[in-house]
Chains A and B, each alone.
Chain A
């Protein structure tokens, strides 16, 4: 009988068993891959940091530099181990052609810098993690471009300066600990010292990286304060060792995290499937279990029959998953190998994925053990007498049928069953709720991002045209002439110049920090404030939400601003949401000082009869190289790639979510039909047709689906909104309000869900026909 049960169990559940096998295998595959990625990532990253001798603190600086001041600071600071100032030649993409392409890097989003190899640290490495050494005419190109432009060793790089062209040959690709990741928008090209000197004659725009290595890395924040307190060059952002680590690990780390999440999801689904199939199997075998108990087979042995099957299945699928991970892991780690190189692997690197797979296996086995505790509850007599485990407590308290004057009997029985066994249906309800939730939240987010109202979260007012002008040598002059032109332009209804300058602000911890303040008249193009209003007087300031929290300042409170040796006492007039510039911005009406100005923006509204796009084209030519944007397309430009990704992810989530709903609903019904076999036969014997019974199941499932979908939708609007707000507030928009398209969210999405559950129920209940009534009734 033992073998018979095991074979029967496989035969009646062929598809489910194969499905379970696949789920566990995929889960093992993913968890092994993810842990492998993490191990390899940390190994390779540490290796790269070591080999390149990464700096601990880097201040970027644009403008003239005084080396003696830096030297004096270094000698006065004992924690500085090494210091070097790297000069980087900024060359505009329009002057550079990579490989044999005909077009330049004009449209590149990257800032391109040319450097020499560094003498003492921050080495630029080649793909073998060796320090790059170049001769005249040779160039080493960042790895980013190898992928982006499909470059290979030996390809040419052409640099044009006026009428002069110089061509270099690619001999290496640069692994750059500071600027490696695609996320970092600057890239360093390496040329020989001599070529560098030649290039410098043609390109005057240079930036400096003032780099430090410390004797003790833990004193980084102390050093940072000391640097900021000094009068050292600081026209530009600072980066440090921790940031290099984070940025280098981010892309692959996020991939690993997503894979782990996917694996956990698969695991949960696998366990749910396991639960429903095991309950169904135990239900169907109930009488046989009773017989086995009655004839004295010990419980442990009975359990062993069921365990054996699942242990064999879990072990083989986990093993297969692990082996598959060895086959595919190179796909996942190719990026790591390319960008970070490979370190010689440690024993741990092999051990951790094995351990992770072992956890998957252990979880399945443990879950089976827990499920089989149900066997304890079966008494031989009970099993033989009733033939089914009537475990769930029935609730007959509902208003009886005899007092229902109008309700259809099938509907009554369907509802009655759901009410009576709500605990059992609860799990399905919960799953359908989660499935709805994870669909609606990204759909709402997508609609919110696509909505023109999203401008509220970007710290800008609504205007027709926006002009961006970055600081460079002659920007100030260009800006002033631009304003003169705009003033004379008859097509323009109103415009507002805004200048962003770097100030110092006294932080809540008493340390002076940098603060970018945009100055201008914010009443011309008003933005929306969470609290308060736009700054109106020269001593008023509006803070972005993140800055307000960082500085611990509320409405009406005062803060100290420092610029050019003078201190200003400012009052907070308003707080607004902003996800641009890392969420840290401020707005005030401070006098314009060209020395501290970093970038310029002009917001413009044209007169009603003027065509905006024509104006954009006109200004693009007139004010070159300023960036002219039609504000309608500003959102789609800035958020375009994010929206595209989110749309893809949403479609994927919808597909997965619906697939899970189908799977779980059908397995749940399989279990339910096994449990209800005798009740179904009774109904049929007294004259209920199969159609009647299917309708009852339809009522039950649609009731649960309706309830689940409703709760899921409500949760998405409340809890989901909350989650998005938490994430949003990290980026600077703490009060994101979902823009909801009711037709989608309350209309066709729930409809599709209900339809999917309905069709699944219809298909699943087709199998009732196979079970004859006579067999059940004569027992």
Chain B
């Protein structure tokens, strides 16, 4: 909880992660991370390769275990939760999008999208189908619903992955380089969709290399050697302000200053 009553949806304190690197030696990938993300906030994580960005994302989302510290999601300590409970959290409260789209090979686009909702079993299947149709329409893949995943492009697959991440109306959306495998046009379109999602109030934590992507975030964290070296507040991005270019330039200057 913050003093002014604003709710932190996700909080990490003293979060450390070590991998054993043969012969008993341990390599510290995350060092005592302190991080708070507020409800509805859009945070981007940047930094050089190997700085621990992705590890931060996977540990803070409970997909990977931690070595020390604690992670609290919606007021609930998750670092000690059982696997079954974590799965429930991912199903109901979190959405994920990855660099590789990671769709299931033996399901068509629509089935990939509705799968988590059918599993969650919160709503009637008819209304889930309706919701999926809306999401697909919003992301521009409505015509591809019946297609196999081998029959669509990378950008279209990523849109499907976003729909899947949103189908259970998660409290937070995690993204690991969601535009990393796409060409610049497709990447731009995906970013627009993510920005729209943020507008509707979804909290977003995004790992990215791309300043154009990060420029849409409210806050950018810069990671170095497993620690958050610095953070930069850009303020809320509004499309109608048409200031993306300026935000990007400001961010680039800061990053260069940091040695990126």
State whether A401 touches B104 (Cβ < 8 A).
no
Taking a contact as CB atoms closer than 8 A, the residue among B54, B86, B91, B132 that contacts A686 in the complex is B91
Number of residue pairs spanning A and B whose beta carbons lie under 8 angstroms apart: 110
Contacts of B116 in A (CB 8 A): 686-687
Taking a contact as CB atoms closer than 8 A, the residue among A682, A689, A769 that contacts B102 in the complex is A682
Contacts of B146 in A (CB 8 A): 400
Contacts A396-B108, A682-B103, A690-B87 given; indicate if A774 touches B63 (C-beta within 8 A): yes
State whether B54 touches A778 (Cβ < 8 A).
yes
Judge whether A523 is part of the interface by a CB distance below 8 angstroms: no
State whether B105 touches A691 (Cβ < 8 A).
no
Judge whether A251 is part of the interface by a CB distance below 8 angstroms: no
State whether A773 touches B106 (Cβ < 8 A).
no
Least distance between B53 CB and chain A CB atoms (Å): 10
State whether A689 touches B83 (Cβ < 8 A).
yes
Starting from the known contacts A686-B165, A690-B84, 7 additional A-B residue pairs (CB-CB under 8 Å) come to A394-B106, A401-B118, A687-B88, A691-B87, A692-B87, A774-B63, A777-B63
Judge whether B148 is part of the interface by a CB distance below 8 angstroms: yes
Contacts A690-B84, A777-B176 given; indicate if A685 touches B102 (C-beta within 8 A): yes
Q: Which of B92-100, B189-197, B213-221, B223-231 contacts A (4 or more CB under 8 A)?
A: B92-100
Least distance between A286 CB and chain B CB atoms (Å): 15
Judge whether B129 is part of the interface by a CB distance below 8 angstroms: yes
State whether A409 touches B102 (Cβ < 8 A).
no
Taking a contact as CB atoms closer than 8 A, the residue among A390, A681, A769 that contacts B83 in the complex is A769
Q: Is the interface of A mostly helix, strand, loop or mixed?
A: helix
Judge whether B172 is part of the interface by a CB distance below 8 angstroms: no
Q: List 24 A-B contacts (CB under 8 A).
A: A390-B105, A396-B106, A396-B108, A400-B107, A401-B107, A401-B118, A404-B118, A404-B125, A409-B118, A417-B106, A679-B105, A681-B102, A682-B103, A686-B90, A686-B115, A687-B116, A687-B120, A689-B83, A769-B83, A772-B64, A773-B63, A774-B58, A774-B64, A777-B63
Least distance between B143 CB and chain A CB atoms (Å): 15
Which partner residue on chain A sits nearest B94 by CB separation?
A: A687
- Residues of chain A touching chain B, judged by Cβ–Cβ distance below 8 Å, are 390, 394-396, 400-402, 404-405, 409-410, 416-417, 420-421, 678-679, 681-692, 769, 772-774, 777-779
Contacts of A778 in B (CB 8 A): 54, 58, 98, 176
Least distance between B255 CB and chain A CB atoms (Å): 23
Interface string of B167-203 (1 = CB under 8 A from A): 0100000001000000000000000000000000000
State whether A396 touches B107 (Cβ < 8 A).
yes
Which partner residue on chain A sits nearest B64 by CB separation?
A: A774
Query: In the complex, which range does the number of interface residues on chain B fall in?
Result: 35 or more
Contacts A394-B105, A396-B108 given; indicate if A779 touches B83 (C-beta within 8 A): no
Taking a contact as CB atoms closer than 8 A, the residue among B100, B119, B168 that contacts A688 in the complex is B119
Contacts of A390 in B (CB 8 A): 105
State whether B148 touches A396 (Cβ < 8 A).
yes
State whether B108 touches A400 (Cβ < 8 A).
yes
State whether A689 touches B108 (Cβ < 8 A).
no
State whether A400 touches B119 (Cβ < 8 A).
no
Please measure, in the bound complex, the distance between the C-alpha atom of A400 and the C-alpha atom of B165, giving whole angstroms: 20
Please measure, in the bound complex, the distance between the C-alpha atom of A713 and the C-alpha atom of B166, giving whole angstroms: 48
Contacts of A687 in B (CB 8 A): 87-92, 94, 116, 119-120, 168
Interface string of B111-125 (1 = CB under 8 A from A): 100111011100001
Please measure, in the bound complex, the distance between the C-alpha atom of A400 and the C-alpha atom of B120, giving whole angstroms: 18
Least distance between B254 CB and chain A CB atoms (Å): 26
Which partner residue on chain B sits nearest A772 by CB separation?
A: B64
Which partner residue on chain A sits nearest B132 by CB separation?
A: A402
Judge whether B247 is part of the interface by a CB distance below 8 angstroms: no
Please measure, in the bound complex, the distance between the C-alpha atom of A500 and the C-alpha atom of B228, giving whole angstroms: 105
Judge whether B110 is part of the interface by a CB distance below 8 angstroms: yes
State whether B104 touches A683 (Cβ < 8 A).
yes
Which partner residue on chain B sits nearest A390 by CB separation?
A: B105
Least distance between A723 CB and chain B CB atoms (Å): 39
Please measure, in the bound complex, the distance between the C-alpha atom of A160 and the C-alpha atom of B104, giving whole angstroms: 89
Please measure, in the bound complex, the distance between the C-alpha atom of A687 and the C-alpha atom of B94, giving whole angstroms: 8
Pick the most buried of A390, A402, A421: most chain B CB atoms within 10 A of its CB. Answer: A402
State whether A679 touches B90 (Cβ < 8 A).
no
Interface string of B133-155 (1 = CB under 8 A from A): 00000000000001010000000
Pick the most buried of B83, B102, B165: most chain A CB atoms within 10 A of its CB. Answer: B102
State whether A400 touches B91 (Cβ < 8 A).
no
Please measure, in the bound complex, the distance between the C-alpha atom of A602 and the C-alpha atom of B119, giving whole angstroms: 76
Please measure, in the bound complex, the distance between the C-alpha atom of A421 and the C-alpha atom of B110, giving whole angstroms: 21
Please measure, in the bound complex, the distance between the C-alpha atom of A774 and the C-alpha atom of B100, giving whole angstroms: 13
Judge whether B159 is part of the interface by a CB distance below 8 angstroms: no
Contacts of A691 in B (CB 8 A): 84, 87
Contacts A691-B84, A774-B58 given; indicate if A409 touches B90 (C-beta within 8 A): no
Contacts of A405 in B (CB 8 A): 125
Which partner residue on chain B sits nearest A682 by CB separation?
A: B102
Least distance between A103 CB and chain B CB atoms (Å): 72
Contacts of A416 in B (CB 8 A): 106-107
Judge whether B164 is part of the interface by a CB distance below 8 angstroms: yes
Interface string of B50-64 (1 = CB under 8 A from A): 000011001000011
Contacts of B100 in A (CB 8 A): 777, 779
Please measure, in the bound complex, the distance between the C-alpha atom of A687 and the C-alpha atom of B170, giving whole angstroms: 11
Contacts of A404 in B (CB 8 A): 118, 125
Least distance between A233 CB and chain B CB atoms (Å): 81
Least distance between A212 CB and chain B CB atoms (Å): 76
Which partner residue on chain B sits nearest A387 by CB separation?
A: B100
Which partner residue on chain A sits nearest B85 by CB separation?
A: A689
Contacts of B87 in A (CB 8 A): 684, 687-692
Contacts of B148 in A (CB 8 A): 394, 396
Contacts of A681 in B (CB 8 A): 102
Please measure, in the bound complex, the distance between the C-alpha atom of A589 and the C-alpha atom of B148, giving whole angstroms: 80
State whether B115 touches A401 (Cβ < 8 A).
yes
Contacts of A688 in B (CB 8 A): 87, 91, 119
Taking a contact as CB atoms closer than 8 A, the residue among B58, B92, B105, B114 that contacts A401 in the complex is B114
Contacts of A400 in B (CB 8 A): 107-108, 110-111, 146
Which partner residue on chain B sits nearest A385 by CB separation?
A: B100
Which partner residue on chain A sits nearest B118 by CB separation?
A: A409
State whether B88 touches A689 (Cβ < 8 A).
yes
Contacts of A396 in B (CB 8 A): 106-108, 148
Pick the most buried of B94, B106, B164: most chain A CB atoms within 10 A of its CB. Answer: B106
Which partner residue on chain A sits nearest B96 by CB separation?
A: A685
Please measure, in the bound complex, the distance between the C-alpha atom of A218 and the C-alpha atom of B223, giving whole angstroms: 97
Please measure, in the bound complex, the distance between the C-alpha atom of A410 and the C-alpha atom of B119, giving whole angstroms: 8
Contacts A409-B119, A685-B96 given; indicate if A690 touches B104 (C-beta within 8 A): no
Contacts of B110 in A (CB 8 A): 400-402
Please measure, in the bound complex, the distance between the C-alpha atom of A701 and the C-alpha atom of B88, giving whole angstroms: 25
Contacts A686-B91, A778-B176 given; indicate if A679 touches B98 (C-beta within 8 A): no
State whether B102 touches A777 (Cβ < 8 A).
yes
Contacts of B165 in A (CB 8 A): 686
Pick the most buried of A390, A400, A416: most chain B CB atoms within 10 A of its CB. Answer: A400
Please measure, in the bound complex, the distance between the C-alpha atom of A692 and the C-alpha atom of B116, giving whole angstroms: 12
Contacts of B86 in A (CB 8 A): 689
Contacts of A683 in B (CB 8 A): 104
Least distance between B172 CB and chain A CB atoms (Å): 13
Contacts A687-B91, A690-B84, A769-B83 given; indicate if A679 touches B115 (C-beta within 8 A): no
Taking a contact as CB atoms closer than 8 A, the residue among A401, A420, A678 that contacts B111 in the complex is A401
Pick the most buried of A390, A410, A686, A772: most chain B CB atoms within 10 A of its CB. Answer: A686
Contacts of B96 in A (CB 8 A): 685-686, 777
Q: Lowest 10 CB-CB distances: which A-B pairs, in order? A: A687-B91, A689-B87, A774-B64, A774-B58, A687-B90, A401-B111, A682-B102, A420-B106, A409-B119, A409-B118
Which partner residue on chain A sits nearest B128 by CB separation?
A: A402
Please measure, in the bound complex, the distance between the C-alpha atom of A686 and the C-alpha atom of B168, giving whole angstroms: 10
Please measure, in the bound complex, the distance between the C-alpha atom of A420 and the C-alpha atom of B94, giving whole angstroms: 30
Please measure, in the bound complex, the distance between the C-alpha atom of A400 and the C-alpha atom of B146, giving whole angstroms: 9
Contacts of A779 in B (CB 8 A): 100
Least distance between A274 CB and chain B CB atoms (Å): 27
Please measure, in the bound complex, the distance between the C-alpha atom of A410 and the C-alpha atom of B55, giving whole angstroms: 30
Taking a contact as CB atoms closer than 8 A, the residue among B90, B114, B125 that contacts A685 in the complex is B90
